[in-house]
Amino acid sequence: MSKRILSGLGLLLGAGLSAGSALALEPGDPQRGQAAAVTCTACHQANGSGMNIPGGESWPRLAGQDAGYIAKQLHDFKSGRRQNASMMPFASMLNDQQIADVAAYYSQMDVTPASGGEEASDKLLARGEQLANRGDWDDYIVSCSSCHGPGGTGVGSDFPGVASQHAGYISAQLHAWKDGERSNDPQNLMGAIAKRMSDDDIAAVSAWYANQAPGEEGGE
List, for residues 75-104, the tens digit of each pLDDT value.
999 999 999 999 999 999 999 999 999 999
Is residue 8 scored above 80 in pLDDT? no
List, for residues 189-212, the tens digit of each pLDDT value.
999 999 999 999 999 999 999 999
Residue among 61, 66, 25, 29 at smallest CA distance from 46: 61
Q: Residue positions in the annotated binding site for heme c?
A: 40, 43-44, 87, 144, 147-148, 190
Predicted TM-score (pTM) above 0.75: yes
Residue 184 · residue 87 · CB < 8 Å: no
pLDDT at 4: 54
Q: Residue positions in the annotated binding site?
A: 40, 43-44, 87, 144, 147-148, 190
Give me the domains of the chain, ranges plus CATH numbers: 26-107 (1.10.760.10), 122-210 (1.10.760.10)
Report the b/e string of 96-106 with b at 16+ CB within 10 A: ebbbbbbbbbb
pLDDT at 24: 75
Residue among 52, 61, 162, 170 at smallest CA distance from 107: 61
